[in-house]
Chain A
Amino acid sequence: MKRLSALILSLVLLLGCTLAFAEDPTYIGEIDLGLCLGMTGDEAVEGNLFIQGVTAVVDKVNAEGGVQGYKINLVKMDSGYDTDTAINGLNLIYETDVVAVIGPHKSTQVSACKSLIEKNTIPTIVGGTNYKLPSTDNNYMFLGRTNDSIQASAMGKFIIKNTDVKKVGIMYSSDDFGQGGFEVISGILAEAGVDFVGEPHNGQDTDYYSTLLKMQNAGCNALVVWTGATPAPIIIRQLNELGLNSEMQIYFAQCLGSSAVHSALDSTDLLDGMYTVQETFLDPNNAEMMAFADECAAKEVYASDAATRNYINVAQFVVNVLQRAEDPTSRESVKQALESTDNQELMFGTFSCDEYHMVNHSAAICQWKKDIGGMELIESIQG
């Protein structure tokens, strides 16, 4: 009896130890990674999705033993919606021992923080995608997301391939994102001899009938909507109400993949047939991607949302950099690993660092299909 009790006790202890080790891997040390994204302010919705995406990747890496034996600690600060909060958040992160930083997200914030990033000599992978950001002056600043010019250019080139398109209407948001997209797309259309009209709009409007009717009256048979996630659902609803979605081919910026847009529609069937350019694409036929998406979904992080997925992509890239760095605890070593990035094929994109410190050049043209309830990949692009 005593022997049996001792055996059971040993087995229980062994099982307990195994579980304890499975839940808490041993690390040789810790690496601090800064995260400066919007937790408050007008764009807190997206900011929190980004943070969830990065956190999901880091949690998974840590659960699997970390990078080169080091556990990653996220040092999170709020970048808010404005430049002041972003500068403050970044300053607070730079006072810690971070080896690299992800963020801020908005291009205006990135422009305002550029000198701070270069002064502090800490590799910072920003989310800004404005076409003015790539520069040979970027030493410690790296552009982790596909630039607007690449996305807009991919869209423009895709439109001119379609010989049915006679005249294109371009409605674009009045911010830097919209204006940059308009310049690139209109330039490609003009070069190809395709007629177009363009009109900017405010992101806070509730009535886009005027712009849509002007496009219809101008005889456009294709419409590019280069805007953000806030006005997109209203534009989609009004396009359908006017019946323009059956009259015109519709091309949307990447906001069409955002769950914020989907949840603001009565039905995603309203998106049927619309084309969009996406930074990343969740391929339902890719087992690895879908397994990862399921794993994230169990933690209520949704890789099907473009905003979340884009930062999952950035976080996976940063983990890849830390794995390649000679010494992942050294900022200079991390910077060298970032600069030496060449054709690193990750789950959602291929990364290469160029002289402008742009590391992500991937884009995908997709079409929303009602019958599959999601997007179908039309074309992958390496800008």
Chain B
Amino acid sequence: MFLQLLISGIAMGFVYALVGIEYTLIWNSCMLLNFAHGQMIMLGAYIFGGLFITGLGVSFVMGWVGTIALVVILGVILAYCIFIPLKDVGRLYAIVATLMFGMIITESSSLLWGVYPIYVSGYLSGIFRIGNIIITKVYAYIMVAAVIIVIALLCFMRLTKIGKAMRCVSENKSMAAMVGINVKTNMVITITISCLICAIVGMMVAPLFSISLTMANTISSKGFISAILGGFGSVPGAILGGVIVGALENVSTIFIDSVYRDIVSFIILIVVIMFKPSGLLGAPRVKISAKPTK
């Protein structure tokens, strides 16, 4: 039972980790707390399930390709129209604006695809059995996809010129601009990558939740907790935080009723904020109250 719960907890933890990475990327790029993540995940799932699979009737692979292509275009538009203008307004206004943006996504999705949940039949369904342990295929795919995304992202940020520029921008935007880095283009790339991760999370968790307007509410808040636990602004921290939150909340249900599992995550959040606000891997200088850099 312990192993069963640990494995499914770690798998869910990887989903939280990906959401935590999205928060981190936008934060590093625009110093903006984006609370429309959940809705962007939901939008990715709807584009995949609602538009491509049930709407156009294409195969799952083509659905993935189509969704990724569409989300890249959408990411660029969102970067120019929403996120880049928001980096220059007060933090509170920016947070409210992202919340409103999330509501616009929800209501637009409701208008486009209706209020009825969409289930993609036969997609990532089935199980693997290892002895007494059952691993659902969707969890296995989530773990594999998350590991690939994280490795690809880390390689991109450390080995490519654009990635290095992204890290420079996250360190100091003014200095990055002075040494010739195009900060705005850099932000567009970061935000597009973030939107892409949102879409991948949405497509991966679709079999777990069904595609509905509220499908990502919980994972969105857990992803935020993961980012804080790992250290806000740290990509490896978000991964570590996600896995710890996922595993702990699932394993805890051996000892407590499963109805209280969410409390575990929130206790973690409170403890971290009280005793180690910089998180497990975050640099001590990272402060959420920092003012935006113009």
- Taking Cβ atoms with an 8 Å cutoff, the residues of A that contact B are 42, 44-45, 48, 174, 199-202, 204-211, 213-214, 217, 233-234, 241-242, 260, 263-266
CB neighbours (8 Å) of B125 from chain A are 266
B35 to chain A, nearest CB (A): 18
Inter-subunit contact A260/B115 (CB<8 Å): no
Asked if B198 is at the interface of the complex by the 8 Å CB criterion, the answer is: no
Determine the distance from Cα of A210 to Cα of B8 in the docked complex, in whole angstroms.
10
Residue B12 contacts which of A207, A213, A234 (CB distance < 8 angstroms)? A207
Between A44, A210, A264, the greatest number of chain B beta carbons within 10 A of the residue's beta carbon is seen for A210
Residue A202 contacts which of B117, B122, B262 (CB distance < 8 angstroms)? B262
Inter-subunit contact A211/B253 (CB<8 Å): yes
A37 to chain B, nearest CB (A): 13
Which B residue sits closest to A205, measured CB to CB?
B258
Knowing A202-B259, A205-B261, A209-B4, the reply to whether A264 touches B117 (Cβ < 8 A) is yes
A121 to chain B, nearest CB (A): 34
Report, as a range, how many residues of chain B touch the other chain: 20 to 34
Between A200, A234, A260, A266, the greatest number of chain B beta carbons within 10 A of the residue's beta carbon is seen for A266
CB neighbours (8 Å) of A205 from chain B are 258, 261
Residue A217 contacts which of B1, B136, B209 (CB distance < 8 angstroms)? B1
Between B9, B119, B259, the greatest number of chain A beta carbons within 10 A of the residue's beta carbon is seen for B259
Which A residue sits closest to B253, measured CB to CB?
A210
Inter-subunit contact B115/A45 (CB<8 Å): yes
List 23 A-B residue pairs with CB atoms under 8 Å apart, sorted by A's residue number.
A42-B214, A44-B115, A45-B212, A200-B257, A200-B259, A202-B258, A204-B214, A204-B217, A205-B258, A206-B205, A207-B9, A207-B12, A210-B1, A210-B5, A211-B258, A213-B1, A233-B119, A233-B210, A241-B134, A242-B134, A260-B117, A266-B122, A266-B125
Determine the distance from Cα of A265 to Cα of B208 in the docked complex, in whole angstroms.
11
A62 to chain B, nearest CB (A): 26
Asked if B254 is at the interface of the complex by the 8 Å CB criterion, the answer is: yes
CB neighbours (8 Å) of B127 from chain A are 241
CB neighbours (8 Å) of B12 from chain A are 206-207
- Quick one: which of B237-267 are within 8 Å of A by CB? 250, 253-254, 257-259, 261-262
Inter-subunit contact A199/B257 (CB<8 Å): yes
Determine the distance from Cα of A202 to Cα of B263 in the docked complex, in whole angstroms.
12
Determine the distance from Cα of A265 to Cα of B122 in the docked complex, in whole angstroms.
9
Knowing A264-B117, A264-B119, A266-B125, the reply to whether A206 touches B209 (Cβ < 8 A) is yes
Inter-subunit contact A45/B117 (CB<8 Å): yes
Determine the distance from Cα of A45 to Cα of B1 in the docked complex, in whole angstroms.
35
CB neighbours (8 Å) of B254 from chain A are 210
Question: Which 7 A-B residue pairings sit nearest by Cβ, starting from the closest?
Answer: A210-B253, A200-B259, A44-B115, A264-B119, A206-B208, A174-B259, A264-B210
